[in-house]
Amino acid sequence: MPRDRAAAALSALRRVRLPRGTRPLPELGRDPHPYRRALGLVAVVLVGAWLGLLIVGSVRVPVGPMDTRMTLRASFSGGTKINVSPLGALELNTHTAPIRLDVDVDQLDPVRAEALVQHPERISGLQDEVARDVGQGTLDLAVRSCVAVVAGATALGLVVYRRPRRALAAGGLALTLLAASGATAFATWNPNSVLEPKFSGLLSSAPSVVGNARSIVSEFDVYQKELARLVTNVTKLYDVTSTLPAYQPDPSTIRVLHVSDIHLNPASWKIVSSLVEQYKIDVIVDSGDTMDHGSAAENGFLDPIPDLGAPYVWVRGNHDSRTTQKYLERMKNVHVLDEGRAVTVAGVRFAGTGDPQFTPDRSTPAGGDAANRLAGIRLASALRDQTTAGTPVDMAVVHEPVAARETDGTVPIVLSGHLHRRDMEVLPLGTRLRVEGSTGGSGLRAVEGKYPDPIEASILYLDRGTRRLQAWDEIKLGGLGLSTAEVSRHLPKENQPGATPSPVPPGTNAPGTNAPATTTPATTAPGRR
């Protein structure tokens, strides 16, 4: 047949030795660089799908009395971002997939809002209505997104290849990728991600959007329901007042503000005072390095402490001198912990010890970590003595994490600082170690670096009956010259839905028990004073 003869002739030509520098003929039907064609097709698909989502991949959904816009976006980390103007944004780690769900709360519909005001009985059923609206909007978004990615990839394929078959292949591959991303999101869906949201925006409004520790633990169970609650709360905000709402603290929790490493930053006192007022703080705990050099000339920096609005518990850091400590001991409403001294403040029993080293010039003394380990061992002995005496300590405070680790098994939680970065760890015997960042943004030394350190503080929510940790909020403000604010809610694993309780350090208050409240004089371990 002619085709066979042509193939045989071509084969014979290939066996002929060609002159040097002459390229052989390619085999019929085979691309010399197939991988380039494949990579080009993938690039066309991804760019086309992204353009399609960008142009038409969103839906406007009336959610209760609110007008919202839902959008799918390409993302490396996935998750859900809820933009609530003017409060800011709420980020939830709902899923792990290359797509992110954006929900923009645009405005309040005045007609529907007025109907709620005139018929307040409808508020009780608003959550169910919002949940239905969100479900319908999600379905509409899925359909529109499929159309958007297919149309975008196909259109771009026609522009690039000018061949309908290649363009259709690009559209089909885009649909396949979207379906795979959706399946991955469904497989990794975490409805309890709402328990640990990250809020960015105006700091004063963050607690109202995040909610209090008790309601976070007991009321929120599924993502869709939580989204409904969020929109409901924002609706009430617009209905009742145009100002930002005040934080309504849970009366069954004790709120402890943990600060550390202020390092002479005068802006820190205004921030602490604002947090005390906004979060209704019961007690402030400072884990040291309030000063920078510990000189008597710096003592005036401490004068605002009695007017911060809450009792102040303090331990000495390696930049705080004995002179600093004596100055604070004379202040009203200030409780200095050292050498295992214990005191009950706002219903919580604290004990702590100061840093055994004083390094105002940032030098490293000969004792190194050994001195802090010894201080931690002495504190652990004092904590055991307190338990034996029937007055177990709820929270220990030190400056160096090295010392804090020595208290493992003697107290439910120990607070420290020094590292200028946050950390949270459950030690082997059950004690939770909480390391705070720098509430002073590393103080006046922040001007030394190219980028300022953030100003960090945390709010710990304790059960009033057991003094066990229920949740904590991490607050981060932009450093020197910056104006950003971020609040993240976190829960201990034992408070997650369906979790089993974590081990309780021996001799400490187990959940469900009440430790004896006491106002007895502070006690120290024998020979430690």
b/e for 194-206, b at 16 or more Cβ within 10 A? bbbbbbbbebbbb
Q: How far apart are CA 400 and CA 374, in angstroms?
A: 12
Give me the pLDDT at residue 10, please: 47
pLDDT tens-digit profile of 23-76? 554 444 445 567 777 788 888 888 887 887 777 777 887 776 677 788 888 787
pLDDT tens digits along 176-213: 888 888 888 888 877 777 667 777 754 444 454 445 44
- Whether residues 202 and 264 fall in one domain: no
Burial of 247 (0-12, 13-18, 19+ CB in 10 A): middle
pLDDT higher than 50, residue 220: no
Which is nearest to 249 in space by CA: 294, 195, 210, 286?
210
Higher pLDDT, 501 or 369: 369
Q: Is there a domain that residue 525 lies in?
A: no
Q: Give the domain range for residue 120.
A: 34-208
Count: domains in the chain: 2
Taking CA atoms, 504 is separated from 82, 138, 334, 348, 432, in Å, by: 37, 43, 30, 17, 10
Residue 500 included in any domain: no
The CA-to-CA distance between both ends of the chain, in Å, stands at 108
Q: Quick one: 164 and 273 in the same domain?
A: no
Let me know whether 188 and 294 are in one domain. no
Measured distance CA(199)–CA(260) in Å, rounded: 22
Structural domain contains residue 400:
yes
In a shared domain, residues 279 and 160: no
103 falls within a domain: yes
Q: Is residue 507 part of a domain?
A: no
Give the whole-angstrom CA distance, residue 30 versus residue 25.
11
Strands (E), 109-252: 198-201
pLDDT tens-digit readout, 422-442: 999 999 999 999 999 998 876
CA 152 vs. chain centroid, Å, equals 35
For the chain, the average pLDDT equals: 74
Portion of the chain with pLDDT greater than 90, in percent = 26
Q: How far is CA 188 from the centre of its chain?
A: 19
Instruction: Answer whether residue 16 is part of any domain.
Output: no
Q: Within 10 A of 207 (CB to CB), how many other CB atoms are there?
A: 24
pLDDT over 50 at 523, yes or no: no
Tokens at 235, concatenated: 């609706």
